[in-house]
Amino acid sequence: MSRRRGPDQGPRVDRGPRVDQGPHPRQDVPDVRWPQVLRAGVRAAGAFGAAASLLRAFPPGGRARWTRTNHRGEPVSLLEGPAWVAGAVGGILAAGTAPGRTRAAGLVAAVSAGAFGAVDDLAEHGSSKGLRGHLRELRHGRVTTGTLKILGLGAGGLAAAALLGADDPSLPESGRLRSALCRGGDLAVRGALVAGTANLANLFDLRPGRALKLGLLAAPAALPATDRRGSAVLVAAAVGSCAAGLGDDLGERTMLGDTGANALGAVLGTALAARAGRRGRLGALAVVTALTLASEQISFTRVIEATPGLREFDALGRRPR
């Protein structure tokens, strides 16, 4: 006669894995929710507007320091750049419960890229343009503000990458040397992607509204909001700040300058580095590098104006020539 096991007879023997074992269902719920993403975008637009009003009333160093003459011979203000940075920072901070590493990386990318962009905007000297020109000056022992910006973008990109890459589950856990090499390589790729995207956005900021439109095209990346890294929050903050500044930019009253364009590219690059897998990051870096090198030989503006569809989109909302 069989006897029923009592509670004091020890645990049951596990005869094999149970089908319901594995991660708890709640662990698969994304950390980023729709309210956070929407709040980041709305707060970014609001912070941009507040910063723009404050900067117009009290321009640091005086209004003349931030005024440039555009191709029409009309004055245009560079204050849109620091206002864009303030908007992005405000939007990122608004999503306070999103993953902290990604938010911190986005803040570092925005502030560092904006700061070094401002150095190039306000203290630029010399006539060298483009990566080749700045490297040529450096070979002759002359350090341009553009060179300082390139170095600063690289340092900021590595700092943002370090925050993103500290808990990357795709890296191998076994083998100290292999793990160290993979982590070092991943850090370099992420950092180069953030810095390269920051520089690339500035290369497109050659006509009113162009860079901001490219920023708005990133909006679909915030729609799913299913990643656990919180990159959707960074995209939403960038989109909100772009939307708030588009009117004055298209009206040729303000411009992003290096301050805003570099920060825009850095934030979107950080979001891409956070969301994409290793192959995706390598592919994106290859595209960014190819476009950057191509810009040394061809004019993006000529290509856009010669391409139907791109030409009309680029001119949309802009004042007639």
Q: Which one-letter DSSP state was computed for residue 69?
A: E
Alpha-carbon Rg for the chain in angstroms: 24
Indicate whether 225 pLDDT > 70.
no
pLDDT in tens, 188-211: 999 999 999 999 999 999 899 999
Binned at pLDDT 50, 70 and 90, residue 27 comes out as very low
For tokens 């620091």, the residue is 82
pLDDT in tens, 32-80: 677 888 899 999 999 999 999 999 999 999 999 999 988 788 899 999 9
Binned at pLDDT 50, 70 and 90, residue 104 comes out as very high
pLDDT, greater one: 226 or 248: 248
Find out whether 257 and 117 touch, Cβ atoms under 8 Å.
yes
pLDDT in tens, 247-256: 999 999 999 9
Tell me, yes or no, if the pTM score tops 0.85. Answer: no
Binned at pLDDT 50, 70 and 90, residue 29 comes out as very low
List, as own/partner pairs, every contact residues 164-173 make where C-beta atoms lie below 8 angstroms and the sequence separation is at least 24, other chains included. Answer: 164/101, 164/102, 164/105, 164/190, 164/229, 164/270, 164/273, 164/274, 165/190, 166/101, 167/101, 170/277, 170/278
Give how far Cα 286 sits from Cα of 3, 189, 274, 303, Å: 69, 10, 17, 20
Residue 149: Cβ-neighbour burial (10 angstroms; 0-12, 13-18, 19+): buried
Binned at pLDDT 50, 70 and 90, residue 222 comes out as low
For tokens 């411009």, the residue is 255
Look up residue 97 and give its amino acid.
T
